[in-house]
């Protein structure tokens, strides 16, 4: 039997776009097809990352923009080195909620930092690691906000940002997808979960 090669899929999009639902559906489909799937996320996909997640999402008061970008990059460096790369080397499928595109969109487009610098920082942190496929669940931030409100969970630091911030984040994601159309699959997150899942499967099928 030949060893299967690893496959790395990341999900991106604003808060409330439905990434977790789609990750669940994709995981179930790939597991049924006999693949070993590792589900993970950033920030917080490792033990060290868990501690960093607590700072970036729940620290009360400001975090200087460069410090925030470095915290996400530190989480990412440790996560890729200790969780993602080993799983890919074992031939597993890694389904990951958020990766460096989130940093570019949130810390770059959303805040005051230069998007290219944020991207370079993450690429340095991970020795250039990029996913095989990135699914962008694109959603109007007004609809996303209504979904989050309906969830009735307390907002984290980023979710609590104003609508204009989330509009800039969305534009950041779409610009990234346009610049790297081979890696990205952009889907309308207002569609039904099953329609979205079908489109994801159609794109992933030839890769597994």
Q: Which residue, 8 or 106, has its beta carbon nearer to ligand TYD?
A: 106
Q: Which of 8, 29, 106, 173 binds ligand TYD (CB under 6 A)?
A: 106
158 near ligand TYD, rule: CB under 6 A: yes
* CA gap 33, 49 in Å, rounded: 30
159 near ligand TYD, rule: CB under 6 A: yes
6 near ligand TYD, rule: CB under 6 A: no
First to last CA, the chain: 16
12 near ligand TYD, rule: CB under 6 A: no
Q: Which of 10, 96, 103, 126 binds ligand TYD (CB under 6 A)?
A: 103
For the chain, how big is the Rg over CA atoms in Å?
16
- Choose the stretch contacting ligand TYD; rule: CB under 6 A; options: 23-31, 86-94, 151-159, 176-184: 151-159
Instruction: Assign 3-state DSSP to the chain and report helix, strand, coil percentages, each to 5.
Output: 55, 15, 30
Q: Which of 6, 18, 43, 141 binds ligand TYD (CB under 6 A)?
A: 43
170 near ligand TYD, rule: CB under 6 A: no
Lookup: tokens for 97: 């909620």
Q: Which residue, 103 or 126, has its beta carbon nearer to ligand TYD?
A: 103
Distances (CA, A) of 54 to 17, 48, 58, 75, 144: 22, 10, 5, 11, 23
Give one DSSP letter per residue of 13-56, joined into a string: ESTTS-HHHHHHHHHHHHHHTT--EEEEESS-SSHHHHHHHHHH
Q: Applying CB under 6 A, which residues contact ligand TYD?
A: 15, 41-43, 57, 72, 97-98, 102-103, 106-107, 156, 158-159
């Amino acid at each position: 039997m030949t060893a299967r090669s690893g496959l790395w899929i990341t999900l991106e999009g604003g808060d409330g776009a439905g990434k977790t639902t789609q990750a669940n559906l994709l995981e179930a489909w790939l597991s049924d097809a006999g693949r070993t799937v590792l589900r993970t996320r950033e920030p917080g996909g490792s033990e060290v990352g868990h501690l960093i997640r607590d700072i970036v999402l729940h620290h009360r008061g400001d975090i200087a923009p460069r410090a925030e970008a470095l915290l996400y990059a530190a989480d990412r460096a440790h996560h890729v080195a200790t969780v993602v790369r080993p799983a890919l080397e074992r031939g597993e499928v890694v389904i990951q909620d958020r990766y460096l595109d989130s940093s570019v969109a949130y810390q770059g487009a959303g805040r005051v930092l230069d998007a290219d610098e944020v991207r370079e920082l993450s690429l340095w942190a991970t020795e250039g690691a990029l996913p095989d496929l990135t699914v962008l669940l694109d959603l109007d931030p007004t609809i996303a906000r209504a979904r989050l409100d309906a969830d009735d969970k307390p907002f984290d630091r980023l979710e609590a940002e104003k609508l204009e911030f989330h509009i800039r984040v969305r534009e950041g994601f779409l610009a990234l997808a346009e610049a790297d159309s081979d890696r990205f699959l952009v889907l309308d997150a207002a569609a039904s979960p099953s329609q979205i899942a079908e489109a994801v499967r159609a794109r992933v099928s030839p890769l597994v």
